[in-house]
């Protein structure tokens, strides 16, 4: 695998994905019963924004740095607070040198009885993941293909929790395998929440994904998409999320959050967003 998330950590796509991740975790924490997070493409879990890769791409400057420095309206600021607080906790006061990936954000919101399984197959990222999880008895790092892990580790014994599906999409088959894989996991664990991230480089693959999910038999699927005006040709400028069994508050929160993110993260007012139900509530 050639994909290196160090180039992209903290960009607009991470901001959207991780803001929604934290909202789901906040909801899970709202009940006393323990839950489990299964992150099937965890990467290294923590990224140094001072290294050459991050400095060269600079994507985090148009993502988390812009958001952290923005004057947000009160409702959006409240929704984003758990995410921004977790980012701030990883950094020296007043500076942004570390970006916490999904692993670190999940750990920040785990309670003593909650659990995390983080999977990564690429050797360097897997080694970094194991290092970043060392000493945390709530968490386990596995060097395993994420798609295999999804089949193997649902349902968790807690019967509450979240599966994060965030492949690199370097493999042309990743879009194609998502609907059937997600439907199979849902059949095994129908009450779980599943959060799927995908890039939008053109509409063919995302629209085909949506059509297949509508016909998947999964009864409740929420879709959110965000586009920003790309500052450089060829740079990713749009992405989407699919949430199976979203918390009952999430659609309302996204209706507030998406316009704010589109305005803050886009250059020259070029942002746009979409929020709709593929199946279920309208």
Q: Which two tokens stand for residue 141?
A: 């790092």
Provide the strand spans (E) within 17-93.
36-39, 46-48
Asked if 166 is an active-site residue, the reply is yes
b/e per residue 226-237 (b: at least 16 CB within 10 A): bbbbbeeeeebb
Q: Classify 135 in phi/psi space as left (phi over 0), alpha (psi -120 to 50) or beta.
A: left
Q: How far is Cα 239 from Cα 245, in angstroms, rounded to an integer? A: 20
Q: How far is Cα 264 from Cα 70, in angstroms, rounded to an integer? A: 7
Q: How far is Cα 124 from Cα 93, in angstroms, rounded to an integer? A: 30
Q: From 241, 247, 226, select the one nearest 278 (Cα to Cα).
A: 241
| Phi, psi dihedral angles at 270 (to 5 degrees) | -95, 10
- Annotated catalytic residue, options 62, 166, 174, 207: 166
Question: With contact defined as beta carbons under 8 Å apart, do 162 and 192 qualify?
Answer: yes
Q: How far is Cα 117 from Cα 119, in angstroms, rounded to an integer? A: 7
Q: Which two tokens stand for residue 188?
A: 């095994």
Q: Which two tokens stand for residue 199?
A: 């890039």
SS3 114: coil
Q: How far is Cα 110 from Cα 116, in angstroms, rounded to an integer? A: 8
Q: What are residue 276's DSSP bridge partners?
A: 223
Residues with catalytic roles: 166
């Amino acid at each position: 695998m050639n994909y290196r998330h160090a180039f992209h950590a903290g960009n607009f796509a991470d901001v959207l994905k991780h803001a929604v991740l934290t909202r789901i975790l906040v909801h899970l924490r709202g009940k006393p019963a323990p839950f489990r997070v299964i992150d099937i493409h965890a990467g290294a879990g923590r990224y140094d924004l001072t290294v050459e890769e991050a400095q060269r791409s600079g994507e985090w400057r148009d993502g988390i740095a812009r958001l952290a420095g923005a004057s947000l309206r009160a409702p959006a600021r409240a929704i984003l607070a758990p995410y921004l607080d977790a980012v701030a906790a990883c950094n020296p006061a007043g500076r942004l040198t570390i970006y916490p990936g999904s692993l670190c954000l999940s750990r920040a919101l785990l309670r003593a009885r909650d659990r995390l399984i983080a999977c990564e197959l690429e050797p360097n990222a897997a080694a970094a993941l194991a290092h970043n999880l060392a000493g945390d008895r709530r968490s386990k790092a596995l060097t395993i293909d994420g798609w295999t892990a999804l089949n193997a580790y649902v349902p968790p014994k807690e019967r509450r929790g979240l599966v994060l599906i965030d492949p690199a999409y370097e493999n042309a088959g990743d879009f194609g395998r998502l609907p059937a894989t997600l439907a199979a996991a849902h059949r095994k664990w129908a009450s779980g929440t599943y959060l799927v991230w995908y890039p939008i480089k053109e509409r063919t693959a995302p629209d085909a994904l949506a059509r297949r999910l509508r016909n998947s038999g999964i009864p409740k699927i929420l879709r959110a998409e965000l586009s920003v005006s790309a500052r450089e040709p060829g740079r990713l400028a749009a992405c989407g999320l699919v949430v199976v069994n979203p918390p009952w508050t999430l659609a309302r929160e996204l209706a507030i959050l998406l316009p704010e993110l589109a305005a803050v993260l886009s250059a020259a007012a070029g942002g746009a967003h979409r929020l709709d139900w593929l199946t279920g509530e309208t």
